[in-house]
């Protein structure tokens, strides 16, 4: 069974995709960027602000699916430059409770991201 997960507490999809899909206990999120859900504007005052917004958008989707970051089993992080890795990694890591089993992950630098952002992250979670 496939179920669409949608919340107004995360940015609405800006194309032909869903915020997330739940299938047999697995949640697959769309990549999240630093869009403010209420306005659709980018929240990019600095890299920490941008990364925090991305993680909060993911948290909202997880919450809507009755999950949290302890349920995340895989993440994909896309950066505009690997020079951003340390800063993004520190904020990303703060969302996972101490002692929890951390997800598998890949982090890659790409030539470009939607709307000129620096960070996009997607997750796969299981409950």
Q: What is the pLDDT of residues 46-104, one digit of tens each?
A: 999 999 999 999 999 999 999 999 999 999 999 999 999 999 999 999 999 999 999 99
Cα 91 to chain centroid, rounded: 12
Q: How far is Cα 9 from Cα 19, in angstroms, rounded to an integer?
A: 11
| pLDDT for position 104 | 98
Alpha-carbon distances, residue 98 vs 24, 45, 88, 93, 102 (angstroms):
27, 28, 18, 9, 9
Q: With pLDDT > 70 as the criterion, what percentage of the chain qualifies?
A: 100
Residue 14 reports pLDDT greater than 90: no
Is residue 47 a contact partner of residue 89, using CB atoms and an 8 Å limit? no
| pLDDT for position 87 | 98
Region of poorest pLDDT, from 26-30, 83-87, 111-115: 111-115
Q: At what angle do helices 85-93 and 47-64 cross, to 10 degrees?
A: 40
Which residue matches tokens 């949608």?
Answer: 6
- Domain of 37, CATH number, reads 3.30.1330.40
Nearest alpha-carbon partner for 49 in 97, 121, 122, 119? 119
Q: Tally the domains of the chain.
A: 1
Query: Which tokens go with 48?
Result: 């920490």
Nearest alpha-carbon partner for 30 in 67, 70, 78, 66? 78
Question: Residue 39 sits in which domain range?
Answer: 2-126
Q: What is the mean pLDDT of residues 28-51?
A: 97
Mean of per-residue pLDDT scores for the chain: 97
| pLDDT for position 35 | 97
């Amino acid at each position: 069974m496939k179920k669409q997960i949608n919340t107004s507490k995360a940015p609405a999809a800006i194309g032909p995709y869903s915020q997330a899909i739940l299938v047999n206990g697995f949640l697959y999120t769309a990549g999240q960027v630093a869009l403010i859900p209420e306005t659709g504007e980018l929240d990019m005052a600095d890299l920490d602000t941008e990364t925090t917004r991305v993680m909060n958008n993911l948290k909202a989707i997880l919450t809507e699916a009755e999950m949290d970051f302890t349920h995340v089993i895989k993440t994909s992080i896309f950066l505009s430059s690997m020079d951003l890795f340390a800063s993004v990694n520190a904020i990303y890591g703060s969302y996972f409770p101490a002692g929890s089993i951390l997800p598998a992950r890949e982090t890659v630098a790409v030539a470009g991201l939607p709307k000129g952002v620096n960070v996009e992250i997607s997750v796969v979670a299981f409950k």
